[in-house]
Amino acid sequence: MTTPTGHLPALAAAVLQPGFVGTTPPPWVCRWLGEGLGSVVLFARNVVDPAQVAALTATLRAERPDVIVAIDEEAGDVTRLESVHGSSRPGNFALGAVDDPELTEAVARDLGVELAAAGVTLNYAPDADVNSNPENPVIGVRSFGADPALVARHTAAWVRGLQDGGVAACAKHFPGHGDTRVDSHHDLPRITADRDRLDACELAPFRAAVAAGVQAVMTGHLLVPALDPQLPATLSRRILGGLLRDELGFSGVVVTDAVEMRAVADRYGFAGATVRALAAGADAICIGGERADEEAARELRDAIVAAVVSGELPEERLAEAAKRVGQLAAWTVAARTAGSAVARGAADVGLVAARRAVRVTAAGSATVALPLTRAAHVVEFEPMRNIAIGAETPWGIGAPLGELLPGTDTVRYAEPDVPADPGAGAGPRPLVLVVRDLHRHDWMRAAVQRALAARPDAIVVELGVPELITGAVHLATHGATRASGRAAAEVLTGTR
């Protein structure tokens, strides 16, 4: 061994990226920063507003000036910085629908400047997955789209914009989570594409991200037999070393998706998956939202040290991982200085992008008159949301439509609670049916069909993937963010 055993805990701590509970750093985090911890990750539970986040990160930086502060801020349906009100930006799928890479870069740069001002230095974004399977339960509007070339050019634009703003980007979920019907939070997805298909589709955006200088890549907990028939990508030397490092030429930090996710933890254990990931070539271990205490961090640190001592994890591999984390930390310090000279974009750049993403489809025999000029009745159908999107983030068009058309009321139904006639409360008023991924939910389709049978003039607003277009007038926002809801309300009322 080239490093004294007593130094191993600090090396092990350097490769962890733990979360914590609270809007101020707990004592254990501050203590660990002095003992080698190189990174932390923030979630919605840590955020009140940008000023509070800035104070939190300043406290962390007082303990370790080069600490990497990560966040999972996709600036779309997945938002942490704006989880209380919903994102003021439209998200990837909307940007892909507009297909203006300069706009995508501007939105990402604006986000980067905002995050940097709050002291965040690494963002687990952009989502570089090609959403080629419309039944995908976890990606959907988080992707730029289903076309690999489109996703690649917007992934590169997003990386450039965010990093110009002073924050390191992290393309995810390598080698591509788009062609699956399984959520890796719950089980291990299997990607059955052959190597030619992977090269043409899934890998194209990651090649573009590497070419754009992305500082980090996040692994997906995915079994891809064409690349490794036995091990998930996060634990595979073939995928992290042979493909990502050697073939794609990536030299930055490889971050795991949350290591407590069931796709890997159920099969290899919380600590076992961590050790295997490091041995395979990962440099940083994300401990996500479900294990957020000192005991979890200590369990992983001690398991890493024990694996080095036993020879299961070569010390040189751990030292290499810690070195890469240190290099990223140095990059973030320099980027914060350079990024401080970059001004934020126009105050409404997110809303401008959301407006451009709205698409209206009218049937040939449509009798619905737009704009609406009187109070409407809004029915919002609420599907179960995946863990990544977070139940605390508000969504819908009822609130902004009510601001523009006073007297508008909103009801929301989930699967077990939908009445026989969901639109009955509208009476003679305009009826607006709001859906998310209508094509994926049998109960929602049935409810919308019943409502349209009773009210053929009802307007359907799709806030998810518009795979199924129905109704006399159909609006697609390509996302359920606050900005997207506002843009839809403006179209409905003609106030845009």
Q: How does the average pLDDT of the chain come out, rounded?
A: 94
**Residue 334 CB contacts under 8 Å (≥ 6 apart), including other chains:** none
> Strand, coil or helix: what is 8?
helix
- Across 288-292, 324-328, 378-382, least confident range: 288-292
pLDDT at site 387: 73
C-alpha 468/C-alpha 462 separation (Å) is 9
Domains 7-339 and 358-493 share a fold: no
Q: Does domain 358-493 have CATH number 3.30.1490?
A: no
What are 217-258's pLDDT values in tens digits?
Answer: 999 999 999 999 999 999 999 999 999 999 999 999 999 999
What are 392-426's pLDDT values in tens digits?
Answer: 799 999 999 999 999 999 999 999 899 999 999 99
Q: Give the CATH number of domain 7-339; options: 3.20.20.300, 1.10.3720.10, 3.40.630.40, 3.40.50.300.
A: 3.20.20.300
- Cβ atoms 285, 257 nearer than 8 A: no
Point out the residues that are catalytic.
185, 257
What are 246-297's pLDDT values in tens digits?
Answer: 999 999 999 999 999 988 999 999 999 999 999 999 999 999 777 889 999 9
User: Is the C-alpha dihedral spanning 314, 316, 318, 324 positive or negative?
Assistant: negative
> Strand, coil or helix: what is 170?
strand
Q: Verify cis geometry, omega within 30 degrees of 0, for the bond prior to 229.
A: no
Listing DSSP states for 172-226 in one string gives: EEET--SS-SS-TTTS--B----HHHHHHTTTHHHHHHHHTT-SEEEEP--B-TT
C-alpha 105/C-alpha 175 separation (Å) is 23
- Cβ atoms 263, 173 nearer than 8 A: no
> Strand, coil or helix: what is 466?
coil
Place of tokens 């030397």: 237
DSSP state of 66: T
pLDDT at site 6: 77
Do the bridges between strand 39-42 and strand 68-71 make them parallel or antiparallel, or are there none, so unpaired? parallel
Rounded to a whole number, what is the distance in angstroms from the first to the last CA of the chain?
A: 66
What are 174-211's pLDDT values in tens digits?
Answer: 999 998 877 777 778 899 999 999 999 999 999 999 99
C-alpha 309/C-alpha 5 separation (Å) is 8
- Cβ atoms 117, 81 nearer than 8 A: no
Angle, helices 101-117/349-357, rounded to nearest 10 degrees? 140
Q: How many CB atoms lie within 10 A of CB 120?
A: 30
Listing DSSP states for 73-127 in one string gives: --SSSS-STTTTT--SS--HHHHHHHT-HHHHHHHHHHHHHHHHHTT--EE---B
pLDDT at site 133: 92
C-alpha 171/C-alpha 173 separation (Å) is 7
**Residue 196 CB contacts under 8 Å (≥ 6 apart), including other chains:** none
Which residue from 407, 380, 369 is spatially nearest to 493, judged by alpha carbons?
Answer: 369
C-alpha 222/C-alpha 189 separation (Å) is 5
Boundaries of every domain in the chain = 7-339, 358-493
